[in-house]
Amino acid sequence: MEKLLPCFAVLFLVAFTSIVRADPDMLQDICAADLASTIKINGFPCKANVTADDFFFAGLGKAGNTTNLVGSVVTPANVEKVPGLNTLGVSMARIDYAVGGINPPHTHPRATEIVFVIEGTLDVGFITTANVLIAKTITKGDVFVFPRGLVHFQKNAGYEPATVIAGFNSQLQGTQSIATALFASNPTVDDYVLAKAFQIDNNQVEAIKAKLAPKK
């Protein structure tokens, strides 16, 4: 039964995202994305020649490298990896967490997210627009939903690496990390604004910006 859990997870996520898709409805059977096109539209233009590979991705079966500042890594299976998802309104991702790792507070402006725990124990939560924290500890076989657009996070609360499979009702959900957006934007947000918002001084703002700045 335990070996079937990942299969159940995939079937559940596909069913969920198909029912509550956020993207516009498609107007034809398929429209595999032409990712090389210079035409800019809401989505991607359709490829002229479609193959089975446009609907295939083998990247979710292998754990990602969690050796980084936050101790987690997201492996996406969205339209940029699976061109055949264009216009279909669904995508997936695998998220791996090292011991003590987090997926920092972030939002998905274009999709609701649902996660299924494959391995490990996680503390997860989201914050409503009334600043109410909705949080829970989830473990292997559990499901949790993060509503579209709300700030949310995950933390590995166990003593072993953890893994979830995530489903989104968008072909490209968009991800905006709160800390990175505020302290590592290009051009950067004025120090005064951040110092005032977080009630810290300019030196502290600069220290955070230095830590989060993209590595060259």
* C-alpha 152: how far from chain center: 10
Q: Does 108 belong to an annotated binding site? A: yes
Q: How far apart are CA 13 and CA 114, in angstroms?
A: 7
Q: Does 103 belong to an annotated binding site? A: yes
Q: Are 152 and 124 in contact (CB under 8 A)?
A: yes
Structure tokens at 64: 């990602």
Q: Does 49 belong to an annotated binding site? A: no
Q: Are 85 and 91 in contact (CB under 8 A)?
A: yes
Q: Does 152 belong to an annotated binding site? A: yes
How wide is the angle at C-alpha 45 spanned by C-alphas 44 and 47, nearest 5°? Answer: 120
Least Cα distance to 145 among 117, 103, 177 occurs for 117
Residues paired with residue 76 on neighbouring β-strands, in sequence order = 93
Structure tokens at 176: 């905006």
Type of residue numbered 31: C
CA distances, 25 to each of 15, 48, 90, 166, 170 (Å): 16, 20, 11, 22, 11
Structure tokens at 82: 């699976």
Q: Does 160 belong to an annotated binding site? A: no
| Distance spanning both ends of the chain, measured CA to CA | 47
Q: Which segments are annotated as binding site? A: 103, 106, 108, 113, 152
Q: Which segments are annotated as binding site for Mn(2+)? A: 106, 108, 113, 152
Q: Which segments are annotated as binding site for oxalate? A: 103, 108, 113
